[in-house]
């Protein structure tokens, strides 16, 4: 095979690695261990795109490099295989999600293998495999049967709590969670309780518990949606209305671990940005909980948490979340209609929208007043959607002079903004949150400093029973239930309305077969369709399934011991592999997956089931590869969905408007012709003028068409040519979670134009490029090298397919070091020349240094420079080329394996080769060229041995013809020699 043919070489070695299980790791080895892990993918129907392999290539280079360094490397891969897209495809087609998922996994495995990754495929896991999710369910049961003891600062089995109840009742028990949710009882009362009463008393202490929780509920889809699945108050899939609804949900008490999660960040080698995101998400704050009694409502107190209790005299109003439990009680008859209207509008907005919207001020007065606990002054009680029921107490003490959002609210509704400090400035234009100066208009703290005032106020409130000092966290307990089919069944059943955990011996609780994958006609989750699905034939199961992050919170542990039928991971295997040494993945998981995984690990640590302190010691977030995205624009707010049909559960398709037409309509100079054209097109769409929020007649007769509020949605770039959409290609179901079936209003010339943007290359953005095409044309080694060559691993990088040709040329040039002019192998056993050895050892040193620092782009540059140098030297020496093959093998493994075998080594053995030893003396130059100057002005250059002393160099200069030629007959005062740098003759 004289020429370099990657298509042949790569298939050969991929088959060899698979047959011989070359990269299989052993749980028992005398070698030091190294565990390198990729965040495993969700297997979508689209397969991998060129953005995916970036992190996988980097981690594979590290894994292969660590093997060369003599380590026992665990480098596994699996699939996060439960998910909404497969379920939605099942709803549309009737095909079981498992069938779709397995097919997609086959595609992923093929693509991963053809990229030459050194995964130990014998350890593959799939979260949708009952043998795997048996242990996900088992961990849930441990959470269900545990509570968090604040005295021991760890989770304990619920039996220890029951023992305390039996001995002392509920008195003196310090447990994580809200004390207000629990009942007080004596030991005697506990003994007299029946089973159901005891379980009800225990429930508020459990780490996995049920509670009425506000969620994003989409009636058309019949499920709870995460914040990421809601855009502009509508479901990302289908554009259906989403509302905030109070529903019974399973929750996990991650808040019990808030402080430990915060402290643990200090021990991790993670990007500072990720650690800061987790710190902010956990949000520890030290302040006070203050009680504002409501006037005219005995016992209806409003509790507020504040970090600035010193500003309490400036609290001119209270703001409650629209979902606050006291709203109905507090609202006066005169304000009832306005409050109800505001609450209805709030339900249509997601929490994320409410928190991020700082431009618009909205709110409504309840008609009720509270009493300021420090001076009894009446404080009006308002509702505003920027306050969330699930955060803090769902109430805010508004101090407009010290908080900008409160300031804007007070300005908008003409509420007072009194100064409370003599250091506050410019209150006519903005709030001033300063802690400097001394307090004014503040009763008992007038004249005091911030620290003095805070101390005095907390003492006063505690004495009066109206407040207390408190440490709080922004972190909320994690909602754990989803009203979907394709997820892990929650191992809980109900007896007389009380939740019980399934016996461990009955695990796994396997997902039952059902005839359809949508909610039942009565609104139950899809599992409600499972005929006769009862625990031991008599008790109803929980119908919700676990969220997607359940299985991914512990998968790294299962990789250590994937075939263990008796334990989620064997004790010996877990102790041997310990922490993940290197975790590679996207920064988008900072406050989701990474936080939940740490939480589960700390919980398992409390149970004595893991031996480390944190799951992932080092984390690297690979940067994004950027692509060009296209968008279509869906019209919102004017479409009244018809009742979903029994067959499809779908409403009438939405309407999309070409971006150029939309921009013209929305401009100040919109033409009459464009308005008439658009209105005529909308008139043709059946039912379009059935509106929700505005009178039909007003909209239908509008000549401005200014009601066209739109949401931008990504469209597959493969269906777009020069920003012109192939409407026929998208107007049919393609298996995606967000189909774009609908009515398309094109330009007058018939073209439907899309918007565009440069952003992350991602399947969710439909702007991806398939690596299969590039591998077919250039080879996997070329793609691996090119993705590393694009730039520093952690930076964003724009994709340019043209750049891969240069890397392909480099690999051909490397091949020709061994096969001149693509001829037969021409490597000789002749001794290497000093220049050749120098070129080699520069690579040995540089590549080791840069891999250790995860600087892979500079490694590729180093290889390119070395190959150019060796080509120029005509190098054919084994002593140089054989180590060079080993150095290249982590980056271009197929080519390296082929050349390694040609050099006479056992097939597939390069992974066991030692990393070449670096010899510093080979980089030392034999001679050094010195510039020689007269009075600082360089006149000549002279070469001396690198070992020459300053005295020897001075003597040689004095005895040479230098002074005769340049000294002008002047006497030499002294000769200054800077070793290795220069010589200066002073005359």
Which residues are part of a known binding site? 763
Please give the span between the terminal C-alpha atoms of the chain, in angstroms, as a whole number: 68
CA dihedral of residues 543, 548, 549, 551 (deg, nearest 10) = 80
- Tell me, letter by letter, the H, E, C secondary structure of 961-979: CHHHHHCCCCCCCEEEEEC
Biggest alpha carbon–alpha carbon distance for the chain: 118
How far is it, in rounded angstroms, from Cα 305 to Cα 397? Answer: 8
Q: With contact defined as beta carbons under 8 Å apart, do 956 and 943 qualify?
A: no
What gap in Å lies between CA 968 and CA 860, rounded to an integer? Answer: 52
Token duo for residue 230 = 């809601």
Q: Do strands 625-636 and 797-798 pair parallel, antiparallel, or not at all (unpaired)?
A: parallel
Q: Is 536 exposed, middle or buried (0-12, 13-18, 19+ CB in 10 A)?
A: exposed
What is the C-alpha separation between 6 and 780, in angstroms, rounded? 8
Positive/negative CA dihedral, 468, 409, 401, 355: positive
In the block, tokens 């309780």 appear at: 193
Give phi and psi for 596, each to the nearest 5.
-65, -40
**Burial degree of 531 (CB within 10 A; 0-12, 13-18, 19+):** exposed
Which three-class secondary structure state does DSSP give residue 142?
A: helix
Tokens 């005032």 belong to: 453
**Could you check whether the bond before residue 508 is cis, i.e. omega within 30 degrees of 0?**
yes
Cα–Cα dist 649/422, whole Å:
63
* Distance from C-alpha of 783 to C-alpha of 8, rounded to nearest angstrom: 16
To the nearest 10 degrees (0 to 180), the angle between helices 804-818 and 893-902 is 10
**How is residue 805 written in tokens?**
């040709």
Q: What dihedral do alpha carbons 602, 607, 609, 610 form, nearest 10°?
A: 30
- Residues marked as binding for ATP? 763
Tell me how long the chain is: 987
Instruction: Classify residue 174 by burial, with Cβ atoms within 10 Å: 0-12, 13-18, 19+.
Output: exposed
Do 755 and 747 meet the contact criterion of CB atoms below 8 Å apart?
no
| Closest of 752, 758, 713, 756 to residue 736, by C-alpha | 713
Closest CA to 644 of 516, 801, 811, 501: 516
Do residues 877 and 831 touch, judged by C-beta distance below 8 A? yes
> Closest Cα partner for 893 from 10, 5, 3?
10
Q: Are 456 and 445 in contact (CB under 8 A)?
A: yes
- Cβ atoms of 418 and 401 within 8 Å: the answer is yes
From CA 247, how far away is CA 210, in angstroms rounded? Answer: 10
């Amino acid at each position: 095979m004289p020429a370099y043919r990657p298509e042949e070489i790569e298939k050969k070695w991929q088959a060899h690695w698979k047959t011989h299980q070359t990269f299989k790791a052993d749980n028992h080895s005398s070698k030091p261990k190294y565990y390198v892990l990729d965040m495993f993918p969700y297997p979508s129907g689209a397969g991998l795109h060129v953005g995916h392999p970036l992190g996988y290539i980097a981690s594979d280079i590290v894994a292969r490099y660590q093997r060369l360094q003599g380590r026992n490397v665990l480098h596994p891969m699996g699939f996060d295989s439960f998910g909404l897209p497969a379920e939605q495809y099942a709803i549309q087609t009737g095909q079981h999600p498992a069938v779709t998922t397995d097919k997609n996994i086959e595609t992923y495995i093929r693509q991963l293998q053809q990229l030459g990754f050194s995964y130990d495929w014998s350890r593959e896991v799939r979260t949708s495999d009952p043998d795997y999710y048996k242990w996900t369910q088992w961990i849930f049961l441990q959470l269900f049967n545990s509570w968090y003891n604040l005295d021991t600062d760890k989770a304990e089995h619920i039996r220890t709590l029951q023992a305390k109840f039996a001995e002392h009742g509920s008195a003196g028990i310090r447990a994580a969670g809200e004390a207000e949710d629990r009942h007080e009882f004596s030991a005697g009362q506990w003994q007299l309780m029946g089973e159901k009463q005891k379980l009800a008393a225990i429930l508020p202490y459990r780490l996995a518990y049920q509670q009425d929780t506000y969620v994003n509920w989409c009636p058309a889809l019949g499920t709870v949606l995460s914040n990421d699945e809601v855009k502009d108050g509508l479901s990302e899939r289908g554009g259906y209305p989403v509302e905030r609804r109070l529903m019974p949900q399973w929750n996990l008490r991650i808040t019990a671990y808030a402080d430990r999660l915060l402290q643990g960040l200090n021990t991790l080698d993670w990007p500072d940005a990720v650690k800061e995101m987790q710190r902010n998400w956990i949000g520890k704050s030290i302040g006070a909980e203050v009680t504002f009694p409501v006037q005219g409502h005995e016992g209806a107190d409003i509790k507020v948490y504040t970090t600035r209790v010193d500003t309490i005299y400036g609290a001119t109003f209270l703001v409650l979340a629209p979902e606050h439990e006291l709203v109905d009680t507090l609202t006066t008859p005169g304000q009832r209609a306005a409050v109800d209207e505001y609450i209805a509008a709030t339900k249509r907005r997601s929490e994320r929208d409410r928190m991020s919207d700082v431009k618009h001020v909205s709110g409504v007065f309840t008609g009720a007043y509270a009493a300021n606990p420090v001076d009894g002054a009446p404080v009006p009680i308002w509702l505003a959607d920027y306050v969330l029921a699930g955060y803090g107490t769902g109430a805010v003490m508004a101090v407009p002079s010290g908080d900008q959002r409160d300031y804007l609210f007070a300005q908008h509704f003409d509420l007072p903004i009194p100064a409370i400090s003599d250091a506050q400035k410019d209150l006519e234009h903005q709030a001033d949150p300063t802690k400097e100066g001394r307090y004014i208009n503040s009763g008992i703290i007038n004249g005091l400093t911030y620290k003095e005032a805070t101390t005095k106020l907390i003492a006063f409130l505690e004495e009066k029973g109206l407040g207390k000092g408190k440490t709080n966290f922004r972190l909320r307990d994690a909602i754990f239930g989803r009203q979907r089919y394709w997820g892990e069944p929650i191992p809980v059943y109900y007896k007389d309305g009380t939740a019980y955990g399934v016996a461990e011996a009955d695990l796994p609780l396997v997902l039952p077969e059902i005839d359809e994958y949508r909610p039942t006609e009565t609104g139950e989750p899809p599992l409600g369709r499972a005929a006769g699905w009862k625990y031991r034939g008599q008790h109803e199961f929980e119908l919700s399934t676990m969220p997607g992050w359940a299985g991914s919170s512990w998968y790294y542990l299962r990789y250590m011991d994937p075939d263990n039928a008796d334990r989620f991971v064997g004790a010996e295997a877990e102790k041997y592999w310990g922490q993940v040494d290197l975790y590679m993945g996207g920064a988008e998981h900072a406050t989701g997956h990474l936080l939940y995984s740490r939480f589960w690990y700390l919980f398992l640590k409390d149970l004595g089931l893991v031996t480390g302190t944190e799951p992932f010691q080092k984390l690297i977030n690979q940067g994004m590869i950027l692509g060009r995205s296209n968008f279509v624009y869906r019209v919102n707010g004017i479409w009244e969905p018809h009742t979903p049909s029994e067959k499809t559960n779908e409403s009438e398709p939405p309407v999309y408007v070409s971006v150029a037409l939309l921009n013209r309509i929305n401009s100040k100079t919109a033409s009459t012709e464009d308005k008439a054209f658009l209105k005529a097109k909308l008139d043709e769409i059946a039912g379009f003028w059935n509106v929700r929020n505005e009178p039909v007649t007003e909209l239908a007769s509008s000549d401005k068409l200014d009601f066209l509020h739109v949401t931008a949605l990504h469209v597959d770039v493969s269906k777009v040519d020069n920003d012109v959409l192939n409407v026929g290609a998208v107007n049919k179901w393609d298996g995606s979670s967000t189909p774009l079936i609908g009515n398309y209003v094109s330009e007058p010339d018939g073209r439907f134009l899309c918007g565009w943007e440069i952003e992350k290359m991602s399947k969710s953005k439909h702007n991806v490029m398939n690596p299969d095409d590039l591998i077919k044309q250039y080879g996997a080694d070329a793609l691996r090298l090119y993705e590393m060559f694009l730039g520093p691993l952690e930076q964003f990088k724009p994709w340019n397919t043209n750049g891969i040709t240069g890397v392909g040329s480099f690999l051909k040039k490397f091949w020709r070091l061994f096969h001149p002019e693509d001829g037969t192998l021409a490597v000789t056993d002749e001794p290497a020349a000093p220049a050749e050895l120098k070129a080699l050892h520069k690579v040995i040193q540089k590549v080791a240094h840069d891999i250790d620092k995860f600087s892979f782009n500079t490694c590729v540059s180093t290889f390119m420079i070395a190959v150019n140098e060796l080509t120029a030297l005509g190098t054919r020496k084994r002593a140089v080329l054989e180590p060079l093959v080993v150095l290249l093998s982590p980056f271009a493994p197929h080519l390296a394996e082929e050349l390694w075998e040609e050099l006479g080594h056992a097939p597939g053995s390069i992974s066991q080769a030692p990393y070449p030893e670096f010899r510093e003396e080979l980089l030392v130059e034999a001679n050094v060229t010195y510039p020689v100057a007269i009075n600082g002005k360089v006149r000549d250059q002279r070469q001396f041995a690198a070992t020459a002393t300053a005295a020897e160099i001075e003597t040689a200069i004095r005895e040479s013809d230098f002074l005769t030629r340049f000294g002008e007959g002047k006497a030499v005062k002294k000769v200054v020699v800077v070793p290795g740098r220069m010589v200066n003759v002073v005359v």
